[in-house]
Amino acid sequence: MADMLVSLLNLPDDTQEVEKLKSQGINIRRINNYERSLLRKFVLDNFSAAWADEVEAAFSYQPVTCFIATYEKKIVGFAAYECTRRDFFGPTGVHPDFRGRGIGKALLIASLRAMLELGYAYAIIGGVGPVEFYSSCVGAIPIPDSTPGVYTDMLARE
């Protein structure tokens, strides 16, 4: 899976989409340090131990480099950045029951805006699966010859 590059200088305005999510009871916000175990459990239950390990790095920063989507005071999605490497977006995921509502896009844009505030002009989305999603949401483009990227010499998981 190739990496992608996205300009942070012209991110789309997603105000209406975020307001629509709010009207459905879904909120996008930065996670708090005291919610760390809840995020880890969500990622373990719905994605992978590797992602749970990776997202832990978000809590080493202040502010925490992870946004969550909540519904009825429970996590239904997350997006982290600066976890794998500096200037990298990801991992990110939305619970299967909540996909297709624009949550992933809202989490992506919130994270990319935060990266812009850190001073980055561009961000790298590492090891992309859904290329079309990132292209259509934020105009990301594949980086030639970026496979396997930073994901080399990984330890085996049992």
The tokens for 113 are 């805006």
Tens of pLDDT, residue by residue over 41-85, are: 999 999 999 999 999 999 999 999 999 999 999 999 999 999 999
113 inside domain: yes
47 inside domain: yes
Number of domains in the chain: 1
Indicate if the pLDDT at residue 152 is higher than 80: no
Indicate if the pLDDT at residue 158 is higher than 90: no
pLDDT of residue 53: 96
Tens of pLDDT, residue by residue over 6-31, are: 999 999 999 999 999 999 999 999 99
58 inside domain: yes
User: pTM value?
Assistant: 0.94
Distance CA 93, CA 66 (A): 12
The tokens for 121 are 């002009």
132 inside domain: no
145 inside domain: no
Tens of pLDDT, residue by residue over 104-124, are: 999 999 999 999 999 999 999
Indicate if the pLDDT at residue 150 is higher than 90: no
- The residue range of the domain holding 51 is 12-117
- CA 18 vs CA 23, 43, 55: distances in Å: 9, 23, 23
134 inside domain: no
33 inside domain: yes
Q: Domain with 86 in it: what CATH number? A: 3.40.630.30
Cβ neighbours for 85, distance < 8 A, ≥ 6 positions apart: 124, 126, 150
142 inside domain: no
